[in-house]
Structure 1
Protein backbone atom coordinates (compact mmCIF):
# COMPACT_ATOMS: atom_id res chain seq x y z
CA UNK A 1 0.00 0.00 0.00
CA UNK A 2 1.48 3.33 -1.11
CA UNK A 3 0.10 5.81 1.40
CA UNK A 4 1.12 9.47 0.99
CA UNK A 5 3.20 10.11 4.12
CA UNK A 6 5.05 13.32 3.19
CA UNK A 7 2.49 16.11 3.46
CA UNK A 8 3.25 19.54 2.02
CA UNK A 9 1.44 22.42 3.66
CA UNK A 10 2.44 24.61 0.70
CA UNK A 11 1.85 22.71 -2.57
CA UNK A 12 4.83 21.75 -4.67
CA UNK A 13 3.22 23.21 -7.80
CA UNK A 14 3.22 26.63 -6.11
CA UNK A 15 6.81 26.32 -4.95
CA UNK A 16 8.04 25.19 -8.37
CA UNK A 17 6.93 28.50 -9.85
CA UNK A 18 9.46 30.28 -7.61
CA UNK A 19 12.39 28.01 -8.52
CA UNK A 20 15.43 29.27 -10.42
CA UNK A 21 16.49 28.09 -13.87
CA UNK A 22 17.94 24.93 -12.30
CA UNK A 23 14.69 24.05 -10.54
CA UNK A 24 16.03 25.01 -7.12
CA UNK A 25 14.65 27.39 -4.52
CA UNK A 26 16.49 29.94 -2.47
CA UNK A 27 15.33 29.76 1.14
CA UNK A 28 15.80 32.14 4.03
CA UNK A 29 15.06 30.52 7.38
CA UNK A 30 14.07 33.54 9.44
CA UNK A 31 14.26 31.63 12.73
CA UNK A 32 17.97 30.88 12.27
CA UNK A 33 18.89 33.62 9.76
CA UNK A 34 20.25 30.93 7.44
CA UNK A 35 20.12 31.07 3.63
CA UNK A 36 20.31 27.84 1.64
CA UNK A 37 19.09 26.17 -1.53
CA UNK A 38 16.48 23.45 -1.64
CA UNK A 39 13.86 21.86 -3.88
CA UNK A 40 10.05 22.03 -3.83
CA UNK A 41 9.77 18.49 -2.45
CA UNK A 42 11.84 19.37 0.63
CA UNK A 43 10.34 22.62 1.97
CA UNK A 44 7.09 23.19 3.90
CA UNK A 45 6.62 19.45 4.34
CA UNK A 46 6.21 17.14 7.34
CA UNK A 47 5.59 13.43 7.66
CA UNK A 48 1.93 12.60 8.44
CA UNK A 49 1.09 16.28 8.96
CA UNK A 50 -2.57 15.71 8.00
CA UNK A 51 -2.89 12.17 9.33
CA UNK A 52 -6.39 11.69 10.77
CA UNK A 53 -5.55 9.73 13.90
CA UNK A 54 -9.09 9.66 15.31
CA UNK A 55 -10.52 8.32 12.06
CA UNK A 56 -7.75 5.77 11.71
CA UNK A 57 -8.80 4.17 15.00
CA UNK A 58 -12.30 3.75 13.58
CA UNK A 59 -10.92 1.87 10.59
CA UNK A 60 -11.08 4.75 8.09
CA UNK A 61 -8.35 5.90 5.70
CA UNK A 62 -6.13 8.23 7.79
CA UNK A 63 -4.80 9.93 4.66
CA UNK A 64 -8.11 11.01 3.15
CA UNK A 65 -7.47 14.69 3.94
CA UNK A 66 -4.07 14.61 2.24
CA UNK A 67 -5.66 12.95 -0.79
CA UNK A 68 -8.40 15.58 -0.92
CA UNK A 69 -5.79 18.33 -0.74
CA UNK A 70 -3.83 16.71 -3.58
CA UNK A 71 -6.96 16.57 -5.75
CA UNK A 72 -7.70 20.24 -5.08
CA UNK A 73 -4.10 21.19 -5.86
CA UNK A 74 -4.31 19.44 -9.22
CA UNK A 75 -7.33 21.53 -10.19
CA UNK A 76 -5.79 24.77 -8.95
CA UNK A 77 -2.51 24.10 -10.71
CA UNK A 78 -4.28 23.70 -14.08
CA UNK A 79 -6.44 26.80 -13.60
CA UNK A 80 -3.63 29.08 -12.47
CA UNK A 81 -1.20 27.75 -15.11
CA UNK A 82 -3.68 29.03 -17.69
CA UNK A 83 -3.98 32.34 -15.86
CA UNK A 84 -0.22 32.80 -15.89
CA UNK A 85 -0.05 32.11 -19.63
CA UNK A 86 -2.71 34.74 -20.26
CA UNK A 87 -1.46 37.34 -17.80
CA UNK A 88 2.12 37.27 -19.09
CA UNK A 89 1.01 38.16 -22.61
CA UNK A 90 -2.02 40.29 -21.79
CA UNK A 91 -2.33 43.98 -22.52
CA UNK A 92 -2.33 46.06 -19.34
CA UNK A 93 -5.89 46.66 -18.16
CA UNK A 94 -7.33 43.69 -20.07
CA UNK A 95 -9.54 41.01 -18.50
CA UNK A 96 -9.14 37.23 -18.26
CA UNK A 97 -12.14 34.85 -18.22
CA UNK A 98 -12.81 33.31 -14.80
CA UNK A 99 -15.91 31.07 -14.88
CA UNK A 100 -17.85 30.78 -11.62
CA UNK A 101 -16.79 27.14 -10.97
CA UNK A 102 -13.12 28.15 -11.27
CA UNK A 103 -13.70 31.11 -8.99
CA UNK A 104 -15.20 28.80 -6.38
CA UNK A 105 -12.29 26.37 -6.64
CA UNK A 106 -9.65 29.07 -6.27
CA UNK A 107 -11.47 30.80 -3.39
CA UNK A 108 -11.81 27.53 -1.48
CA UNK A 109 -8.18 26.68 -2.17
CA UNK A 110 -7.00 30.03 -0.79
CA UNK A 111 -9.15 29.57 2.33
CA UNK A 112 -7.78 26.07 2.89
CA UNK A 113 -4.23 27.20 2.11
CA UNK A 114 -4.48 29.81 4.84
CA UNK A 115 -5.76 27.23 7.34
CA UNK A 116 -3.51 24.31 6.45
CA UNK A 117 -0.09 25.71 7.34
CA UNK A 118 2.28 24.97 10.18
CA UNK A 119 1.81 28.57 11.30
CA UNK A 120 -1.93 28.05 11.77
CA UNK A 121 -1.26 24.89 13.77
CA UNK A 122 1.19 26.75 16.01
CA UNK A 123 -1.29 29.59 16.60
CA UNK A 124 -4.12 27.15 17.31
CA UNK A 125 -2.03 25.23 19.83
CA UNK A 126 -0.84 28.45 21.48
CA UNK A 127 -4.47 29.47 21.95
CA UNK A 128 -5.22 26.07 23.51
CA UNK A 129 -2.25 26.38 25.88
CA UNK A 130 -3.38 29.85 26.94
CA UNK A 131 -6.73 28.37 28.02
CA UNK A 132 -5.30 25.11 29.39
CA UNK A 133 -1.81 25.89 30.73
CA UNK A 134 -1.70 22.66 32.75
CA UNK A 135 -2.64 20.38 29.86
CA UNK A 136 0.26 20.05 27.41
CA UNK A 137 -0.67 18.69 24.00
CA UNK A 138 0.95 15.65 22.45
CA UNK A 139 1.97 15.74 18.79
CA UNK A 140 -1.10 13.68 17.92
CA UNK A 141 -3.40 16.03 19.84
CA UNK A 142 -1.91 19.02 18.02
CA UNK A 143 -2.60 17.30 14.70
CA UNK A 144 -6.16 16.51 15.80
CA UNK A 145 -6.84 20.13 16.73
CA UNK A 146 -5.57 21.30 13.37
CA UNK A 147 -7.34 18.76 11.17
CA UNK A 148 -10.61 19.38 13.05
CA UNK A 149 -10.22 23.08 12.23
CA UNK A 150 -9.60 22.34 8.56
CA UNK A 151 -12.76 20.22 8.41
CA UNK A 152 -14.86 22.97 9.95
CA UNK A 153 -16.97 23.61 6.85
CA UNK A 154 -18.56 26.77 8.23
CA UNK A 155 -15.13 28.29 8.83
CA UNK A 156 -13.68 27.22 5.48
CA UNK A 157 -16.72 28.36 3.52
CA UNK A 158 -16.87 31.66 5.43
CA UNK A 159 -13.32 32.54 4.40
CA UNK A 160 -13.88 31.18 0.89
CA UNK A 161 -17.00 33.34 0.42
CA UNK A 162 -15.08 36.42 1.56
CA UNK A 163 -12.51 35.70 -1.15
CA UNK A 164 -14.93 34.51 -3.85
CA UNK A 165 -17.13 37.60 -3.54
CA UNK A 166 -14.16 39.94 -3.70
CA UNK A 167 -12.94 41.95 -6.68
CA UNK A 168 -10.08 39.95 -8.16
CA UNK A 169 -7.24 41.86 -9.78
CA UNK A 170 -3.77 40.90 -10.94
CA UNK A 171 -0.53 42.82 -11.33
CA UNK A 172 2.52 42.07 -13.45
CA UNK A 173 6.07 42.48 -12.27
CA UNK A 174 8.63 43.25 -14.96
CA UNK A 175 11.26 44.58 -12.57
CA UNK A 176 14.50 42.87 -11.62
CA UNK A 177 13.11 42.32 -8.11
CA UNK A 178 11.12 39.07 -8.02
CA UNK A 179 7.98 38.53 -6.02
CA UNK A 180 8.62 35.95 -3.31
CA UNK A 181 6.49 33.42 -1.45
CA UNK A 182 6.68 31.64 1.90
CA UNK A 183 5.49 28.74 4.03
CA UNK A 184 2.28 30.75 4.63
CA UNK A 185 1.65 32.40 1.24
CA UNK A 186 -1.93 33.75 1.46
CA UNK A 187 -1.61 37.17 3.10
CA UNK A 188 -4.26 39.62 4.30
CA UNK A 189 -3.85 43.39 4.39
CA UNK A 190 -5.83 46.19 5.96
CA UNK A 191 -7.75 48.53 3.67
CA UNK A 192 -5.29 51.40 4.30
CA UNK A 193 -2.32 49.13 3.42
CA UNK A 194 -0.74 49.89 6.81
CA UNK A 195 -0.73 46.39 8.33
CA UNK A 196 -0.66 42.71 7.45
CA UNK A 197 -3.04 40.47 9.42
CA UNK A 198 -2.98 36.88 10.65
CA UNK A 199 -6.45 37.14 12.22
CA UNK A 200 -9.55 39.31 11.96
CA UNK A 201 -9.25 39.58 8.21
CA UNK A 202 -12.88 38.91 7.21
CA UNK A 203 -13.75 42.56 7.72
CA UNK A 204 -14.66 45.68 5.80
CA UNK A 205 -11.96 46.60 3.30
CA UNK A 206 -9.42 43.94 4.24
CA UNK A 207 -8.09 42.19 1.15
CA UNK A 208 -6.19 39.01 0.33
CA UNK A 209 -2.87 38.93 -1.50
CA UNK A 210 -1.50 35.78 -3.14
CA UNK A 211 1.70 35.70 -5.23
CA UNK A 212 1.20 33.34 -8.17
CA UNK A 213 4.77 33.52 -9.49
CA UNK A 214 7.78 35.87 -9.30
CA UNK A 215 6.17 38.02 -12.00
CA UNK A 216 2.42 37.81 -11.21
CA UNK A 217 0.45 38.58 -8.03
CA UNK A 218 -3.26 38.33 -7.25
CA UNK A 219 -5.37 40.68 -5.10
CA UNK A 220 -8.86 39.96 -3.77
CA UNK A 221 -10.44 43.23 -2.62
CA UNK A 222 -13.48 43.12 -0.34
CA UNK A 223 -16.31 44.24 -2.61
CA UNK A 224 -18.21 46.72 -0.41
CA UNK A 225 -15.32 48.96 0.59
CA UNK A 226 -13.58 48.69 -2.81
CA UNK A 227 -16.76 49.03 -4.93
CA UNK A 228 -15.18 51.89 -6.90
CA UNK A 229 -12.88 49.39 -8.64
CA UNK A 230 -15.48 46.67 -9.32
CA UNK A 231 -15.23 47.29 -13.08
CA UNK A 232 -11.67 45.96 -12.91
CA UNK A 233 -12.73 42.53 -11.61
CA UNK A 234 -10.68 39.78 -13.31
CA UNK A 235 -8.39 42.39 -14.89
CA UNK A 236 -4.65 42.81 -15.12
CA UNK A 237 -3.79 46.11 -13.50
CA UNK A 238 -3.02 48.93 -15.90
CA UNK A 239 -0.14 49.87 -13.58
CA UNK A 240 2.87 47.52 -13.69
CA UNK A 241 4.63 46.93 -10.40
CA UNK A 242 7.68 49.01 -9.51
CA UNK A 243 10.57 47.75 -7.37
CA UNK A 244 9.12 49.59 -4.38
CA UNK A 245 5.69 48.03 -4.93
CA UNK A 246 7.21 44.56 -5.23
CA UNK A 247 9.07 45.01 -1.94
CA UNK A 248 5.85 46.21 -0.34
CA UNK A 249 4.11 42.99 -1.36
CA UNK A 250 7.14 40.91 -0.34
CA UNK A 251 6.85 42.36 3.14
CA UNK A 252 3.57 40.45 3.45
CA UNK A 253 5.37 37.16 2.92
CA UNK A 254 7.97 38.12 5.53
CA UNK A 255 5.15 38.89 7.97
CA UNK A 256 3.07 35.79 7.26
CA UNK A 257 5.91 33.26 7.18
CA UNK A 258 6.23 30.90 10.08
CA UNK A 259 9.81 30.08 9.16
CA UNK A 260 10.69 29.88 5.46
CA UNK A 261 10.81 32.67 2.87
CA UNK A 262 11.06 31.26 -0.67
CA UNK A 263 12.59 33.06 -3.64
CA UNK A 264 14.02 32.47 -7.10
CA UNK A 265 17.09 34.55 -6.19
CA UNK A 266 19.51 34.85 -3.30
CA UNK A 267 18.47 38.32 -2.22
CA UNK A 268 16.76 38.59 1.17
CA UNK A 269 18.13 41.92 2.34
CA UNK A 270 14.79 43.72 2.32
CA UNK A 271 12.73 40.98 4.01
CA UNK A 272 15.45 40.56 6.64
CA UNK A 273 15.26 44.25 7.49
CA UNK A 274 11.47 44.21 7.44
CA UNK A 275 11.28 41.13 9.68
CA UNK A 276 13.35 42.89 12.32
CA UNK A 277 10.68 45.62 12.50
CA UNK A 278 7.71 43.27 13.01
CA UNK A 279 6.27 43.77 16.47
CA UNK A 280 7.96 47.14 16.94
CA UNK A 281 6.65 50.69 16.80
CA UNK A 282 8.55 51.11 13.53
CA UNK A 283 6.37 48.44 11.89
CA UNK A 284 3.15 49.75 13.42
CA UNK A 285 3.79 53.24 12.12
CA UNK A 286 5.17 52.36 8.73
CA UNK A 287 3.21 53.14 5.58
CA UNK A 288 3.53 50.01 3.46
CA UNK A 289 1.16 51.14 0.73
CA UNK A 290 2.06 50.14 -2.80
Structure 2
Protein backbone atom coordinates (compact mmCIF):
# COMPACT_ATOMS: atom_id res chain seq x y z
CA UNK A 1 0.00 0.00 0.00
CA UNK A 2 2.84 2.38 0.83
CA UNK A 3 4.45 1.74 -2.56
CA UNK A 4 1.11 2.31 -4.28
CA UNK A 5 0.75 5.60 -2.42
CA UNK A 6 4.20 6.75 -3.49
CA UNK A 7 3.46 5.83 -7.10
CA UNK A 8 0.20 7.80 -7.02
CA UNK A 9 2.01 10.84 -5.62
CA UNK A 10 4.69 10.56 -8.32
CA UNK A 11 2.07 10.21 -11.05
CA UNK A 12 0.30 13.33 -9.74
CA UNK A 13 3.56 15.30 -9.69
CA UNK A 14 4.32 14.23 -13.26
CA UNK A 15 0.84 15.27 -14.38
CA UNK A 16 1.20 18.68 -12.71
CA UNK A 17 4.67 19.11 -14.24
CA UNK A 18 3.35 18.27 -17.70
CA UNK A 19 0.50 20.76 -17.43
CA UNK A 20 2.71 23.47 -15.96
CA UNK A 21 5.26 23.14 -18.76
CA UNK A 22 2.65 23.03 -21.49
CA UNK A 23 3.41 19.35 -21.92
CA UNK A 24 -0.23 18.32 -21.81
CA UNK A 25 -0.62 19.96 -25.20
CA UNK A 26 2.21 20.28 -27.70
CA UNK A 27 2.50 21.07 -31.39
CA UNK A 28 -0.86 19.58 -32.34
CA UNK A 29 -0.63 16.82 -29.72
CA UNK A 30 -2.68 16.45 -26.57
CA UNK A 31 -3.21 13.96 -23.79
CA UNK A 32 -6.15 11.72 -24.60
CA UNK A 33 -6.06 12.31 -28.35
CA UNK A 34 -7.51 8.83 -29.00
CA UNK A 35 -10.08 8.86 -26.19
CA UNK A 36 -12.97 8.73 -28.69
CA UNK A 37 -11.43 7.33 -31.88
CA UNK A 38 -9.52 4.46 -30.24
CA UNK A 39 -10.11 4.44 -26.47
CA UNK A 40 -8.06 1.25 -25.90
CA UNK A 41 -5.00 2.53 -27.79
CA UNK A 42 -2.79 3.14 -24.77
CA UNK A 43 -3.90 -0.06 -23.03
CA UNK A 44 -3.06 -2.12 -26.12
CA UNK A 45 0.43 -0.60 -26.43
CA UNK A 46 1.06 -1.10 -22.70
CA UNK A 47 -0.04 -4.74 -22.86
CA UNK A 48 2.24 -5.44 -25.82
CA UNK A 49 5.24 -3.83 -24.11
CA UNK A 50 4.61 -5.80 -20.91
CA UNK A 51 4.26 -9.05 -22.85
CA UNK A 52 7.51 -8.59 -24.76
CA UNK A 53 9.33 -7.35 -21.66
CA UNK A 54 8.37 -10.47 -19.70
CA UNK A 55 10.28 -12.62 -22.19
CA UNK A 56 13.05 -10.13 -23.09
CA UNK A 57 13.78 -7.30 -20.62
CA UNK A 58 16.35 -5.80 -23.01
CA UNK A 59 13.56 -4.38 -25.14
CA UNK A 60 12.87 -1.68 -22.51
CA UNK A 61 16.08 0.32 -23.00
CA UNK A 62 15.94 -0.55 -26.71
CA UNK A 63 12.56 1.11 -27.26
CA UNK A 64 13.52 4.09 -25.12
CA UNK A 65 16.66 4.63 -27.19
CA UNK A 66 14.71 4.15 -30.43
CA UNK A 67 12.26 6.93 -29.50
CA UNK A 68 15.20 9.22 -28.70
CA UNK A 69 16.87 8.49 -32.04
CA UNK A 70 13.58 9.02 -33.86
CA UNK A 71 12.92 12.44 -32.34
CA UNK A 72 16.41 13.75 -33.12
CA UNK A 73 15.96 13.10 -36.87
CA UNK A 74 13.03 14.80 -38.63
CA UNK A 75 11.28 15.06 -35.26
CA UNK A 76 9.13 12.38 -33.63
CA UNK A 77 7.58 10.97 -36.81
CA UNK A 78 8.51 7.27 -36.74
CA UNK A 79 10.99 7.72 -39.60
CA UNK A 80 13.30 5.40 -37.63
CA UNK A 81 10.85 2.53 -38.27
CA UNK A 82 10.89 2.65 -42.08
CA UNK A 83 12.67 -0.13 -43.95
CA UNK A 84 14.91 0.52 -46.94
CA UNK A 85 18.51 0.14 -48.12
CA UNK A 86 19.36 3.73 -47.13
CA UNK A 87 16.79 4.30 -44.35
CA UNK A 88 17.69 5.60 -40.88
CA UNK A 89 17.79 2.02 -39.62
CA UNK A 90 20.97 1.47 -41.65
CA UNK A 91 22.90 4.38 -40.09
CA UNK A 92 25.73 3.22 -37.76
CA UNK A 93 24.15 4.63 -34.56
CA UNK A 94 20.91 2.76 -35.31
CA UNK A 95 22.14 -0.67 -36.36
CA UNK A 96 21.96 -2.11 -32.85
CA UNK A 97 18.53 -0.69 -31.98
CA UNK A 98 16.08 -3.17 -30.51
CA UNK A 99 12.31 -3.30 -30.15
CA UNK A 100 11.08 -2.87 -33.71
CA UNK A 101 9.03 -6.04 -33.33
CA UNK A 102 7.28 -4.59 -30.28
CA UNK A 103 6.08 -1.57 -32.25
CA UNK A 104 5.05 -3.78 -35.19
CA UNK A 105 3.09 -6.06 -32.84
CA UNK A 106 1.28 -3.12 -31.23
CA UNK A 107 0.51 -1.65 -34.65
CA UNK A 108 -0.96 -4.93 -35.89
CA UNK A 109 -3.27 -5.15 -32.87
CA UNK A 110 -4.31 -1.51 -33.21
CA UNK A 111 -5.09 -1.94 -36.90
CA UNK A 112 -7.57 -4.64 -35.89
CA UNK A 113 -9.10 -2.55 -33.10
CA UNK A 114 -9.04 0.85 -34.83
CA UNK A 115 -7.95 0.65 -38.49
CA UNK A 116 -6.06 3.67 -39.79
CA UNK A 117 -6.32 5.67 -36.57
CA UNK A 118 -3.19 5.35 -34.40
CA UNK A 119 0.12 6.52 -35.83
CA UNK A 120 3.36 4.59 -35.52
CA UNK A 121 4.95 7.73 -34.05
CA UNK A 122 2.43 7.72 -31.20
CA UNK A 123 2.90 3.98 -30.65
CA UNK A 124 6.64 4.54 -30.25
CA UNK A 125 6.16 7.46 -27.84
CA UNK A 126 3.72 5.44 -25.72
CA UNK A 127 5.93 2.34 -25.81
CA UNK A 128 8.91 4.39 -24.62
CA UNK A 129 6.91 5.59 -21.61
CA UNK A 130 5.70 2.07 -20.88
CA UNK A 131 9.24 0.71 -21.19
CA UNK A 132 10.30 3.00 -18.36
CA UNK A 133 7.28 2.01 -16.28
CA UNK A 134 7.99 -1.73 -16.52
CA UNK A 135 11.50 -1.14 -15.14
CA UNK A 136 10.08 0.49 -12.00
CA UNK A 137 10.46 3.97 -13.41
CA UNK A 138 7.96 6.85 -13.50
CA UNK A 139 4.73 6.94 -15.49
CA UNK A 140 3.73 10.18 -17.20
CA UNK A 141 0.92 11.36 -19.46
CA UNK A 142 1.98 11.22 -23.11
CA UNK A 143 0.45 13.82 -25.46
CA UNK A 144 -0.57 12.03 -28.68
CA UNK A 145 -1.74 13.07 -32.13
CA UNK A 146 1.53 12.72 -34.06
CA UNK A 147 1.44 11.68 -37.68
CA UNK A 148 4.01 9.54 -39.46
CA UNK A 149 6.70 10.91 -41.75
CA UNK A 150 7.43 9.67 -45.25
CA UNK A 151 11.19 10.33 -45.42
CA UNK A 152 13.91 8.21 -43.82
CA UNK A 153 17.56 8.63 -44.83
CA UNK A 154 20.61 7.24 -43.08
CA UNK A 155 22.54 10.41 -43.92
CA UNK A 156 20.13 12.46 -41.78
CA UNK A 157 21.13 10.45 -38.71
CA UNK A 158 24.72 11.70 -38.88
CA UNK A 159 24.11 14.41 -36.27
CA UNK A 160 22.64 12.21 -33.54
CA UNK A 161 24.25 12.75 -30.12
CA UNK A 162 27.25 10.41 -29.98
CA UNK A 163 28.98 8.35 -27.29
CA UNK A 164 32.11 10.56 -27.39
CA UNK A 165 30.52 14.01 -27.69
CA UNK A 166 31.77 16.79 -25.43
CA UNK A 167 29.30 18.66 -23.26
CA UNK A 168 29.47 21.63 -25.64
CA UNK A 169 28.58 19.45 -28.62
CA UNK A 170 25.78 17.70 -26.73
CA UNK A 171 24.29 21.01 -25.62
CA UNK A 172 24.43 22.32 -29.20
CA UNK A 173 22.65 19.24 -30.55
CA UNK A 174 19.98 19.48 -27.87
CA UNK A 175 19.57 23.21 -28.39
CA UNK A 176 18.93 22.61 -32.10
CA UNK A 177 15.88 20.58 -31.02
CA UNK A 178 14.64 23.16 -28.53
CA UNK A 179 15.99 21.26 -25.54
CA UNK A 180 18.25 22.72 -22.85
CA UNK A 181 21.07 21.56 -20.58
CA UNK A 182 18.65 20.30 -17.93
CA UNK A 183 16.88 18.21 -20.56
CA UNK A 184 20.28 16.82 -21.57
CA UNK A 185 21.15 15.75 -18.02
CA UNK A 186 17.66 14.41 -17.32
CA UNK A 187 17.38 12.41 -20.55
CA UNK A 188 20.92 11.06 -20.17
CA UNK A 189 19.55 9.40 -17.06
CA UNK A 190 17.92 6.88 -19.42
CA UNK A 191 21.32 5.18 -19.26
CA UNK A 192 20.31 3.86 -15.86
CA UNK A 193 19.04 0.88 -17.87
CA UNK A 194 20.55 -0.80 -20.89
CA UNK A 195 24.00 -1.72 -22.11
CA UNK A 196 26.81 -0.36 -24.28
CA UNK A 197 29.08 -2.30 -26.64
CA UNK A 198 32.74 -2.53 -25.63
CA UNK A 199 33.74 -0.90 -28.91
CA UNK A 200 32.06 2.33 -27.81
CA UNK A 201 34.21 2.87 -24.72
CA UNK A 202 37.22 0.53 -24.93
CA UNK A 203 39.41 3.45 -26.06
CA UNK A 204 38.96 4.82 -22.53
CA UNK A 205 40.57 1.69 -21.06
CA UNK A 206 43.67 1.19 -23.21
CA UNK A 207 46.11 3.75 -24.58
CA UNK A 208 44.04 6.79 -23.63
CA UNK A 209 45.95 9.90 -24.85
CA UNK A 210 48.18 11.41 -22.19
CA UNK A 211 47.29 8.83 -19.53
CA UNK A 212 50.24 7.04 -17.90
CA UNK A 213 47.98 4.20 -16.78
CA UNK A 214 46.58 3.85 -20.27
CA UNK A 215 43.05 4.56 -19.01
CA UNK A 216 40.97 7.71 -18.98
CA UNK A 217 41.98 9.33 -15.66
CA UNK A 218 38.39 10.39 -15.00
CA UNK A 219 37.49 6.71 -14.51
CA UNK A 220 37.69 5.15 -11.05
CA UNK A 221 40.72 2.80 -10.92
CA UNK A 222 38.74 -0.16 -9.57
CA UNK A 223 36.11 0.42 -12.25
CA UNK A 224 38.82 0.38 -14.93
CA UNK A 225 39.90 -3.09 -13.74
CA UNK A 226 36.28 -4.23 -13.81
CA UNK A 227 35.72 -2.92 -17.34
CA UNK A 228 39.00 -4.35 -18.61
CA UNK A 229 37.94 -7.79 -17.37
CA UNK A 230 34.68 -7.42 -19.28
CA UNK A 231 36.24 -5.83 -22.37
CA UNK A 232 39.75 -7.22 -23.07
CA UNK A 233 41.86 -5.06 -25.36
CA UNK A 234 41.63 -7.49 -28.26
CA UNK A 235 38.30 -9.02 -27.29
CA UNK A 236 34.91 -8.94 -28.92
CA UNK A 237 33.95 -5.31 -29.47
CA UNK A 238 30.29 -6.26 -29.74
CA UNK A 239 30.17 -7.61 -26.18
CA UNK A 240 27.81 -5.49 -24.11
CA UNK A 241 28.25 -4.06 -20.61
CA UNK A 242 25.62 -2.53 -18.33
CA UNK A 243 25.81 1.27 -18.29
CA UNK A 244 24.62 1.32 -14.67
CA UNK A 245 26.58 -1.42 -12.96
CA UNK A 246 24.84 -0.83 -9.62
CA UNK A 247 21.22 -1.39 -10.68
CA UNK A 248 21.25 -2.18 -14.41
CA UNK A 249 17.65 -3.39 -14.63
CA UNK A 250 15.98 -0.76 -12.46
CA UNK A 251 15.10 2.73 -13.62
CA UNK A 252 16.48 4.93 -10.83
CA UNK A 253 18.82 7.84 -10.08
CA UNK A 254 21.82 5.56 -9.42
CA UNK A 255 23.21 6.67 -12.81
CA UNK A 256 24.05 10.09 -11.37
CA UNK A 257 25.87 8.56 -8.43
CA UNK A 258 27.95 6.59 -10.92
CA UNK A 259 29.00 9.82 -12.65
CA UNK A 260 30.13 11.31 -9.34
CA UNK A 261 32.11 8.15 -8.55
CA UNK A 262 33.95 8.01 -11.89
CA UNK A 263 31.86 5.07 -13.06
CA UNK A 264 30.25 6.57 -16.15
CA UNK A 265 30.80 4.00 -18.91
CA UNK A 266 30.38 6.28 -21.92
CA UNK A 267 32.52 9.38 -22.30
CA UNK A 268 29.43 11.43 -23.17
CA UNK A 269 28.07 10.53 -19.72
CA UNK A 270 31.33 11.02 -17.82
CA UNK A 271 31.82 14.56 -19.12
CA UNK A 272 28.52 15.61 -17.52
CA UNK A 273 30.35 15.41 -14.19
CA UNK A 274 33.63 16.84 -15.50
CA UNK A 275 31.94 20.00 -16.83
CA UNK A 276 31.20 22.58 -14.13
CA UNK A 277 27.86 23.59 -15.65
CA UNK A 278 26.33 20.16 -16.04
CA UNK A 279 27.95 18.92 -12.82
CA UNK A 280 25.68 21.31 -10.93
CA UNK A 281 22.64 19.68 -12.54
CA UNK A 282 23.94 16.18 -11.72
CA UNK A 283 24.42 17.29 -8.12
CA UNK A 284 20.84 18.57 -8.02
CA UNK A 285 19.58 15.19 -9.21
CA UNK A 286 21.66 13.62 -6.44
CA UNK A 287 20.10 15.94 -3.87
CA UNK A 288 23.41 17.48 -2.80
CA UNK A 289 22.85 19.53 0.35
CA UNK A 290 22.66 23.27 -0.25
CA UNK A 291 21.37 22.94 -3.83
CA UNK A 292 17.79 23.07 -5.05
CA UNK A 293 16.99 19.42 -5.66
CA UNK A 294 15.56 17.89 -8.84
CA UNK A 295 13.40 14.76 -8.63
CA UNK A 296 14.67 12.43 -11.33
CA UNK A 297 11.36 10.74 -12.12
CA UNK A 298 9.47 14.02 -12.44
CA UNK A 299 12.14 15.79 -14.49
CA UNK A 300 12.72 12.79 -16.74
CA UNK A 301 9.00 12.61 -17.53
CA UNK A 302 8.88 16.36 -18.17
CA UNK A 303 11.86 16.21 -20.54
CA UNK A 304 10.42 13.17 -22.33
CA UNK A 305 7.20 15.08 -23.00
CA UNK A 306 9.23 18.03 -24.25
CA UNK A 307 11.39 15.85 -26.50
CA UNK A 308 8.32 13.97 -27.72
CA UNK A 309 6.96 17.21 -29.15
CA UNK A 310 10.06 18.01 -31.20
CA UNK A 311 9.08 18.86 -34.78
CA UNK A 312 6.02 16.61 -34.69
CA UNK A 313 3.78 16.29 -37.70
CA UNK A 314 0.08 16.77 -37.04
CA UNK A 315 -3.10 17.82 -38.77
CA UNK A 316 -2.72 17.29 -42.52
CA UNK A 317 1.04 16.70 -42.40
CA UNK A 318 2.42 13.19 -42.83
CA UNK A 319 0.14 10.16 -42.76
CA UNK A 320 -1.11 7.31 -40.56
CA UNK A 321 0.85 4.31 -41.84
CA UNK A 322 -0.85 0.97 -42.18
CA UNK A 323 2.53 -0.71 -41.61
CA UNK A 324 5.20 1.00 -39.55
CA UNK A 325 7.91 -0.31 -41.86
CA UNK A 326 6.61 1.30 -45.07
CA UNK A 327 4.87 4.44 -46.26
CA UNK A 328 1.33 3.94 -47.50
TM-score (structure 2 length as normaliser): 0.23
Structure 1 or 2: larger strand share? 1
Higher relative contact order (CA 8 A, sep 6+): 2
**TM-score, with length taken from structure 1:** 0.25
Q: Which has the higher helix share?
A: 2
